[in-house]
Amino acid sequence: MTPPYGAYPPPPPAPPPRRTWLIPVLALAVVPVVAGAALLAFLLLREEDPAAGGPATLRRPVQFLAVQASEPVPCKPGLLADPSGTECLQVGTGMEIARVADIRVQTPDPARGRTGYSVAISFTPEDARTFTELTTTAAQAQSPANRIAIIAEGRVLSAPAVSSPINGGKVEISGPSGQFTKDYTTDLVRRITGR
């Protein structure tokens, strides 16, 4: 039996309108948030990793000064203790650097003769020339005047003897392995550069 004309049930309700506009709007809102989070993560990692290196204006200048004399401890006023604490150094003239082409923590690499952590510095071209002159003078002197004291924050980090001029504008600051640990060298770069 067929229902009389017009007695059919009403059609089902229309589906709600599709919100296709919502997808692009959400995408536009999410992309900047993700990009911002990625940028923040990059900046935080860079801030936390002074070992990454690169050019820097130093917050605390580093001095490379000629050693004039050395005496046994205890140190008299005006003399600086060497890193081992076994001798006192009288330093003279040299150079002070406030900007570097690169500064980074170097990890141990026995194949290259590096048994502990160190700080590698690449000088600017002008400072590289001055450093070559300083090491040329030291290489021609007798001990202890053949040594150059590397000083930061008023402390001698290292005072190596120089046997020949150092060209190329690069130097590696190293010291006793008990002192020049990963934490020590990373903190040293952080303090010197302000990174």
Q: Is residue 101 part of a domain?
A: yes
For residue 29, give its domain range: 19-48
142 and 173 in a single domain? The answer is yes
DSSP for 131-195, please give it.
HHHHHHHHHTSPTTTTBEEEEETTEEEE--B-SS---SSEEEE---TTTS-HHHHHHHHHHHH--
Q: What is the pLDDT of residue 16?
A: 64
pTM greater than the 0.75 cutoff: no
| Low-confidence stretches of the chain (pLDDT beneath 70) | 1-52, 195
69 and 89 in a single domain? The answer is yes
The three-state secondary structure class of 74 is: coil
Q: Is residue 1 part of a domain?
A: no
121 and 43 in a single domain? The answer is no
Q: What is the pLDDT of residue 105?
A: 95
120 and 178 in a single domain? The answer is yes
Q: Is residue 168 part of a domain?
A: yes
Dist CA 186 CA 149 (whole Å): 20
37 and 107 in a single domain? The answer is no
Q: What is the pLDDT of residue 146?
A: 96
64 and 74 in a single domain? The answer is yes
Q: What is the pLDDT of residue 29?
A: 47
